[in-house]
Structure 1
């Protein structure tokens, strides 16, 4: 059981203006595995994560989940909604929704009943120590609280794959460690595939593997 990336390539432009961003990437991430993706700016990390999330198409190559294509044109949006959880550098909470509503809205969009969505939202928020903040709006939350809400929102729809793009960049060292531990533990416990972009080498120890990209190519996987 794994996410498989096979001969993945991505270019932008054509002819003399063509730029090769990803160059024949091959690797897999097993269920229950938390992988850090790192490399210099411009190495292709965010492009890769965007393709894996179904928000951008590859130029060639395959993305498989358990030996089956993860996306096709007819079901890409459904896969993004039901199978993939995104965590971004900023929390991107909706300012006019309470903490509970941030999660419930995702559950409802994924097809849960209102009661089931509320039950799961409260369970997740209780697990991260925010059950006392259910009715609070984002402007009353600290930076760390906002990011914890965003993480639980990503887990709300029982995703198979978690994709995180610099989720700790706006946090101090202590909060960054707490956030990454939380992400890692959920991926391990729920047997998900987890990929996180970070430049913070202090966080590498929390990953099962660290993949280095350089100029669109995989140069190290250990």
Structure 2
């Protein structure tokens, strides 16, 4: 299992207003590999991750997953996001009228898990990240860091084959950020997932198998 990005480009606008955000990107991520994307603001990192998650289409090039085009149409993209892709946004985007536990259970049930199985998995994941005492709490009673930890575990509810994370530790303190990234890496390694995370925090680079630097929509270098 691998993710292959082949001559990927993304352009916004037309004519004189046309702007190319991503330019001829080529790289591969193998199963069990944890990659960090970094670069200055406006370098195209979030646009790239959004395309890989099926939330935005590319202008040119191809994305292949398991030797097949990742997205063929909007219906397939929607299905893959539900069953095979876990996306962690910079903001938690929790549903305000669902408790911590319900945030995860809802995702599990939508992905085809029974109510019992979804509840068991939700509690296991939330305990793993230290939120076992916050199961019945609503988002408005959570700290920013707690909300983000819920969002991170929600991304694992459907046991996705690919984890995409956009600055998932931005609202966490240094110790909690390190813990979360270690946990992400361990899940990716143990379950042979493809993992890509955006971060500017150089203290976290050591946890990645490789670091890819973007500059003006192009890959500047890989470590």
Structure 2 length-normalised TM: 0.95
Alignment-derived partner of residue 27 in structure 2: 27
Alignment-derived partner of residue 3 in structure 1: 3
Give the Cα separation in 1 of the matches to 2:124 and 2:60. Answer: 41
Deviation at 1:57, TM superposition (A): 0.5
Give the Cα separation in 2 of the matches to 1:95 and 1:165. Answer: 21
Deviation at 1:114, TM superposition (A): 1.1
Deviation at 1:54, TM superposition (A): 0.3
Give the Cα separation in 1 of the matches to 2:173 and 2:161. Answer: 29
Cα deviation code 1:75-107 (max 9, x no counterpart)? 111011111101111222222211110100101
- The residue matched to 1:213 in structure 2 has which SS? strand
Deviation at 1:213, TM superposition (A): 0.5
Task: State how 1:1-222 maps to structure 2 within 5 Å.
Answer: 1-73=1-73, 74-222=75-223
- The residue matched to 1:133 in structure 2 has which SS? coil
Q: Name stretches of at least 5 consecutive residues in structure 2 with no aligned partner.
A: none
Cα deviation code 1:142-200 (max 9, x no counterpart)? 33322221111000001011110011112222222122112111111121111011111
- The residue matched to 1:132 in structure 2 has which SS? coil
Give the Cα separation in 2 of the matches to 1:25 and 1:129. Answer: 38
Give the Cα separation in 2 of the matches to 1:52 and 1:169. Answer: 21
Give the Cα separation in 2 of the matches to 1:199 and 1:164. Answer: 13
Cα deviation code 1:106-152 (max 9, x no counterpart)? 01111222111112111212222322222122233333322221111
Cα deviation code 1:32-78 (max 9, x no counterpart)? 11100001111111110010000100011110012111111141110
Q: Is the 8 A contact 2:148 2:171 kept in 1?
A: no
- The residue matched to 1:75 in structure 2 has which SS? helix
Which deviates more, 136-145 or 96-105? 136-145
Report how many aligned residue pairs link the two structures. 222
Q: Name stretches of at least 5 consecutive residues in structure 1 with no aligned partner.
A: none
- The residue matched to 2:113 in structure 1 has which SS? coil
Give the Cα separation in 1 of the matches to 2:91 and 2:180. Answer: 13
